[in-house]
Structure formats: C-alpha cells, structure tokens
Amino acid sequence: MKPLVQVGQAYMALSEGEEKLRNGLFEEAATSYNRAMTVSKTIPEDEAYDHQGFDALCHSGLSGALVKLEQFKEALASSDIALHYFNRRGELNQEEGKHWINAVRSRAAALEGTGRPEEALKAYQMVSEMIVERKAEMPDKDEQLRIIEQHISRLKSGVSDKKPAGYKAWWEFWS
C-alpha cells in the first residue's frame, strides 16, 4: 500500500472517531481512534509524516471517549500520551489547540475518576485558564466553562475538608 493511501485511511478513521464522539457513540469512537493509530503505524518512518503528532490527536479524542466509558485509568494513560506531545510543542494551530484543551479536560476527568481530587482540581483549573485565554473561538465556550467551574467548586469543597494524613491541629501539639 502506498503511504498516501495509508495517510488518507488514518485521517478518515480519526475523522470518524471525532464524529462518533460528538454523537455520543463512545465505544465506536474508541474503536475508530484505535484503528486510526493502527493504520498510522503502517506508514514507514522515513516518510514525511508526523507520527507522534497524529497519535497525539488520536489519543486526545480516545481519552475523551474512555472517560465517557468510565475507563479512567486507560483515559489517563491516553491523555498523558497526548499531553506529552502537546506540552512540548505548544499550540501550533487552532485545531491542535482544541485537541490540547480536550486532552487536559480528559485528564482532569480521569484523575477525578481514579480518586485523585487534588490533581483533578489543578487540571480543571488549568483547562479553565486555557479556554479563557484562547484567542480563537471555540463552540459552546461558555457552557464548557460553566461545567468546568462546577467540577472545580465540587472538588474545592471536597479537597479543603479533607485533612492530610497525620494532620494535627495546632492545639494538639501542646496537649
């Protein structure tokens, strides 16, 4: 198979994954993202093709689908792969920026789902800042910020009430 055909098939599967994710077909979306990465791996390394960047796009979407399927450990691993790429590269263009934000949001939800509220809170705060500071327009930006703020408020109340292991109040030291 010629590399150009493989590239087209990989991007077609990525596009299918994004559409299925938007339509709430999370299992099918995950399958499409995984298929996109499988096809991408058949493209020879010596071709002028950004394998890591493509995988980051796929993992960004895959992590979102896995969160919806409540497969939080897998979602966390997938979002971390995407963020490894995006955090090094920065926002190169409008589309990659959206994927970067989605990966951070998925990471926050995965951290919350795996019982790590302090880390989830920091990730939600980060994604909120990313959305607010984003210069390009995002669809349903206000709704996204409202939902993220709900997560932040809920996590803040839970985190601030929880005392660290071995915590002693100041007066207990003199008792």
In a domain, residue 102? The reply is yes
Instruction: Determine what percent of the chain is predicted with pLDDT higher than 90.
Output: 63
Higher-confidence position of 138 and 14:
14
Structure confidence at residue 89 (pLDDT): 78
In a domain, residue 167? The reply is no
In a domain, residue 155? The reply is yes
Q: Write out the residue range of the structural domain in which residue 130 sits.
A: 3-160
pLDDT band at 169 (very low <50, low <70, confident <90, very high): low
pLDDT band at 114 (very low <50, low <70, confident <90, very high): very high
Nearest to 56 by CA among 9, 88, 20: 88
Structure confidence at residue 133 (pLDDT): 82
In a domain, residue 76? The reply is yes
Number of domains in the chain: 1
Q: What pTM was estimated for this model as a whole?
A: 0.84
Alpha-carbon gap, residue 43 to 47, rounded angstroms? 7
